[in-house]
Amino acid sequence: MDVLRPALIRIGGQIYRKNLIQEQAYQEEEEDDFCPGPGDCADEPCDAFVVEETEKGFQCRVEVPSPLYKYIIGKKGETKKRLETETRTSISIPKPGVEGEIVITGQHRSGVISARTRIDVLLDSFRKKQPFTHFLSFALNQPAIQEKFLQFKEEVLEKCSKDHGVSSSLFQNPAKLHLTLGTLVLLNEQEIQKACDLLQRCKEDFVDQITGGKPLIVEVAGVEYMNDDPATTDVLYAQVHMKDGSDKLQVIADQLVERFVASGLMLKEWDRVKLHATVMNTLFRKDPGAEERNTTVTGKSSFKERESFNGRNILKV
């Protein structure tokens, strides 16, 4: 990374510079102790959160899912102690497994703001390392599509089963056929409800307007592969198009992702959504319930120890 052009982190509508530091590789997340140095984040006053004045000084509350408490506490409490010492604040964290707010108190407003900013940076860093828990998608599990998918599976196994890596374990469950828009890390019921509420607002704000309140008729036709060499395929997907040739489905998908990214519930991965319905995936070989991951930016990589298959004949047929 160019030290003159440090990476930028967006938190709560504000952008912070992340200075170049040497980070330690962690083996056990339960015992992680991560602490940004004094220069790792901007400690200047910020309007992204509320700091209340109290009789004893100042106070700031931040809602944090309980699975992330450990990253603020750190190994043997070292991260929390260091934050309190360097910012001259007191940080109160709920008991493990109990959902609530982290409360930062201090005699000086600048110290409370500094502690809150550093906690936000910690949370942003470790949230990105969590495996995704949910995904936003359009279901493609109508009976007609399921029937055609099963015909596709039968034909592939009949004509291409001798090709390297091709087996019945690669195919999607017909009941789970869908178009993935993006993945989310939702760590408690409050975050799940926030996502549900946002989806409902999107429907009211623009989805109903774009569709005119009517179903969109789509056509699922043709298959394509994700990587550069069809002889070593990991993901084969069905292509989806609007029957009337319009771009309504693409517009809705892009706007949904834009809203979810702006809310902080989803990371921006691409400029526009790649509409695709996974039909074969080497992840299914070991875990039939797995979903495709087109990026390792969020959560943990699932592409280790994958056995690719030769998809040339499938594509040809």
Q: What is the chain's length?
A: 317
Residue 108 has pLDDT above 70, yes or no: yes
pLDDT digits (tens, 9 = 90+) for 216-269: 999 999 999 988 799 999 999 999 999 999 999 999 999 999 999 999 889 888
Tokens representing 255 are 């706007």
Where do the domains of the chain lie? 51-129, 134-286+305-316
Please classify residue 139 by burial: count the beta carbons closer than 10 Å to its beta carbon, then call 0-12 exposed, 13-18 middle and 19+ buried: exposed
- For 66-75, the pLDDT digits (tens) are 999 999 999 9
CATH class belonging to 51-129:
alpha beta
Task: Tell me the average pLDDT across 92-113.
Answer: 93
pLDDT > 70 fraction of the chain, expressed in percent and rounded: 79
Single pTM value for the model = 0.72
Helix, strand or coil for residue 236? strand
pLDDT at residue 147 in the model: 96
pLDDT at 22: 47
Q: Is the pLDDT of residue 95 over 60?
A: yes
Quote the CA–CA distance of 17 and 6 in Å, as a whole number: 6
User: CA torsion sign, 137 to 138 to 142 to 145?
Assistant: negative
Q: What is the pLDDT of residues 73-92, one digit of tens each?
A: 999 999 999 999 999 999 99
pLDDT over 90 percentage in the chain: 65
Q: 269-296 pLDDT, tens per residue?
A: 888 999 999 999 999 987 766 664 444 3
What is the per-residue pLDDT for 97?
87
Question: What whole-number distance in Å separates Cα of residue 258 and Cα of residue 76?
Answer: 39
Q: Look at residue 41 and tell me whether its pLDDT is greater than 50.
A: no
Q: Which residues contact 153 (CB under 8 A, 6 or more apart)?
A: 168, 171, 279
Higher pLDDT residue, 44 or 186? 186
Cα separation values, 173 from 33, 34, 169, 275, 289, Å: 40, 40, 10, 19, 9
Q: Which of residues 45 and 101 earns the better pLDDT score?
A: 101
DSSP state of 59: E
Q: What is the CA radius of gyration of the chain?
A: 24
Average pLDDT, the chain: 84
Of residues 117, 311, 145, 165, the one with CA closest to residue 228 = 311
As a CATH number, domain 134-286+305-316 is 3.90.1140.10
> pLDDT class for 145, splitting at 50, 70, 90?
very high
Q: Which residues pair with 225 in a beta bridge?
A: 236
Q: Which residues lie closer than 8 Å to 260 by C-beta, 6 or more apart?
A: 136, 182, 184, 195, 198, 266
pLDDT at 24 over 50: no
